[in-house]
Chain A
């Protein structure tokens, strides 16, 4: 018999999930949105997605090397960040701007704070906000869907949040101007359902986010369905607000976080100069996560006052 035995502390069984598998599930869930973006905005959108993913992965690799830490590109989290960033950009943006966004997301927001699990705000959203502030024109010029078929003269259009005249059907299908991944509500919902079924995300955050945004729109006299389907709300609610690292891990924390996101989104949309409020609301709530977790820590089993027998 060989002397070399594995000796370890219990449990000796582990479930067969891993960070890589979870990230892969998120990528799979984003595939419908990617397909929709290719249909509406042409093959150029694939190029933009490719640029973002590649630059994110390269940034992650280089920054880990410089910091003399283990390479973590294998966990695919940089791919997810790149993909989400690309889906938040308009299709006709200069790819160099996209690369700049990737650097902000991976190097500044993620790796400088300690890499995966340590960033206090969502890297993709932080990058989007930096780009929005730095390049407001490029970030807020959207082209009509199917512009690539119409020839060289791309007609620019505003997001339906500004125009307010797109039908529900077109909002659902994504046949309107906007960022790559945010237009097609059906594709996003499909991805969300996949994530919930695969138990990657809990349905609490997306559902409460959407619900509270709807209620808030009603309160402010907006059309709730229009508000929910337009802009980046669904993309934010399903894929950005549910980011493990930057959302609370307690159940009630998730509820509070999502209500905050929903209410802030509609408030910002209604009262701020920016047409969109999703990114800002999520990033604001990201910052509050430690506080939310502090107040929503569940009471340990048996810590409560002794329960008095069975209820008769």
Chain B
């Protein structure tokens, strides 16, 4: 396996996908930093994995970057105060998936003072990096919120040689990553080189959708002097098609490798990082300020002034929207994340978490979904599926609650990207059906486990 890896000239073939309208109205607007709100409500579950427990008490004085929640679990990331002030209360709040978790409410003193204990980490080797990444509280900023130090901790038996930086940003409206590249390009590239060196990776492929020519240009100009010397970093323009930002699709497009079903990118020798995550990591190595704010795209046809806002973690959605100028139409649907995979929430009182990359608000016109009609077997969902599944077949199995038929049609390989439902002329809620099927399977699994234990 010591043969030199080549850098791709053009993307490899991928399957399926749909052409969604781009609607990147905020791509050319400078991001605006939002001042500290009066209160921030920081939930203790801002990532996949174990939630944190609060490490502060009501009445404590905290400063920016101070740890307020932590956990002993490996798949977890510490949570830091995003404003300076006093802890007003510790209470249960509803997060965007509808569950209730502990949250620390901090009343800002308006001074925005940094915590004295912050200093740039000293990173000499991999274990330093993993420790520093965990301490920074970094989770995947692209939306999934998977703790980054877990991702970087590649098992030794996996031969990971390629770092892929995800700048595809294939969801409509969202431009947070695009602005990150334009406004923070040097941090992006220095992060790339630092990570490549510490992890000993052989090549880096930065996948950018070709609807962002300015981002491609900026990255190329920075990478230019390196490429002449080592030829190890490539900026790969991708077709603007949804879902190129999906991990498995991106890996196939960049390296022609296929992640085996139910496995991780490391099994295909790849490490995929979101561009905002890598820029943050590089900034953290210089300043030592943990993840306390993030760039959020605020857009949608009910928003008066669409823009990217740099928001302290824990700010309420309402305050972010008010900061941009408020609504111009009656809001009928609020989505945290993109319109294809984001979750719609029931009001604007929720709080920005680390992984929220967008707040979209739609008026009646965009929000209403048509009533589903009968499936006419047109096969568009099959053509659209990037995982080459048969959504119609899965739905039929789900409707009859036939678990073995669901598993036969590889329902667990579905990443819920929404291409099938987008393409469906009968407006059927295919993804919803598939989610239901997955829940049925999980419930069945639990049931069999309890049955076995009962014996």
When chains A and B are docked, how far (Å) is the Cα of A299 from the Cα of B20?
25
**Which one of A175-183, A187-195, A256-264, A302-310 is at the interface?**
A302-310
**CB pair B427 A14 closer than 8 Å:** yes
When chains A and B are docked, how far (Å) is the Cα of A8 from the Cα of B342?
10
In chain A, positions 1-20 with a C-beta closer than 8 Å to chain B are 1-15, 17-19
**CB pair B333 A249 closer than 8 Å:** no
- How extensive is the interface on chain B, given as a class? 35 or more
- Residue A116, interface by CB 8 Å: yes
When chains A and B are docked, how far (Å) is the Cα of A300 from the Cα of B262?
12
**CB pair B1 A302 closer than 8 Å:** no
Query: Across the interface, which residues of B come within 8 angstroms of A9, CB to CB?
Result: 344, 429, 431-432, 435
Across the two chains, which residue of chain A brings its CB closest to B349? A1
Distance of A204 from chain B, by nearest CB (Å): 11
- Residue B341, interface by CB 8 Å: yes
When chains A and B are docked, how far (Å) is the Cα of A1 from the Cα of B1?
61
When chains A and B are docked, how far (Å) is the Cα of A306 from the Cα of B424?
31
Query: Across the interface, which residues of A come within 8 angstroms of B422, CB to CB?
Result: 11, 13-15
When chains A and B are docked, how far (Å) is the Cα of A307 from the Cα of B375?
35
- Residue B130, interface by CB 8 Å: no
Neighbour of B342 across the interface among A10, A297, A301, A302, CB < 8 A: A10
**CB pair B261 A8 closer than 8 Å:** no
If A6-B368, A302-B263, A306-B260 touch, whether A117 touches B344 (CB-CB below 8 Å) is no
In chain B, positions 407-423 with a C-beta closer than 8 Å to chain A are 409-410, 413, 416, 418, 421-423
Distance of B205 from chain A, by nearest CB (Å): 11
In chain A, positions 241-280 with a C-beta closer than 8 Å to chain B are 244-245, 249-250
Neighbour of A10 across the interface among B248, B409, B418, CB < 8 A: B418
When chains A and B are docked, how far (Å) is the Cα of A177 from the Cα of B342?
59
Neighbour of A307 across the interface among B6, B172, B258, B344, CB < 8 A: B258
Query: Across the interface, which residues of A come within 8 angstroms of B269, CB to CB?
Result: 309
If A1-B348, A10-B343, A300-B410 touch, whether A19 touches B386 (CB-CB below 8 Å) is no
When chains A and B are docked, how far (Å) is the Cα of A22 from the Cα of B390?
21
When chains A and B are docked, how far (Å) is the Cα of A87 from the Cα of B351?
61
- How extensive is the interface on chain A, given as a class? 35 or more
Interface of B is mostly: loop
Q: Bits for B367-401, please: 1 = Cβ < 8 Å to A, else 0.
A: 11110011111110010001111101100000000
- Residue A118, interface by CB 8 Å: yes
Chain A CB count within 10 A is highest, among B5, B252, B378, for B378
When chains A and B are docked, how far (Å) is the Cα of A116 from the Cα of B343?
32
When chains A and B are docked, how far (Å) is the Cα of A19 from the Cα of B435?
24
**CB pair B413 A244 closer than 8 Å:** no
If A301-B15, A306-B258 touch, whether A11 touches B3 (CB-CB below 8 Å) is no
Query: Across the interface, which residues of B come within 8 angstroms of A11, CB to CB?
Result: 339-341, 418, 421-422, 431
If A11-B341, A302-B387 touch, whether A311 touches B256 (CB-CB below 8 Å) is yes
Starting from the known contacts A9-B431, A12-B333, A249-B390, 17 additional A-B residue pairs (CB-CB under 8 Å) come to: A1-B348, A5-B333, A5-B344, A9-B344, A9-B432, A10-B342, A11-B421, A18-B370, A21-B425, A116-B373, A118-B374, A249-B378, A249-B379, A298-B390, A301-B248, A309-B1, A310-B255
In the complex, 23 of the A-B residue pairs with CB atoms within 8 angstroms, ordered by the A residue number, are A6-B333, A6-B344, A9-B435, A12-B339, A12-B369, A13-B20, A13-B339, A14-B427, A18-B426, A19-B374, A22-B378, A72-B373, A116-B374, A117-B374, A249-B392, A297-B393, A297-B409, A301-B248, A301-B252, A303-B261, A303-B410, A307-B258, A309-B1
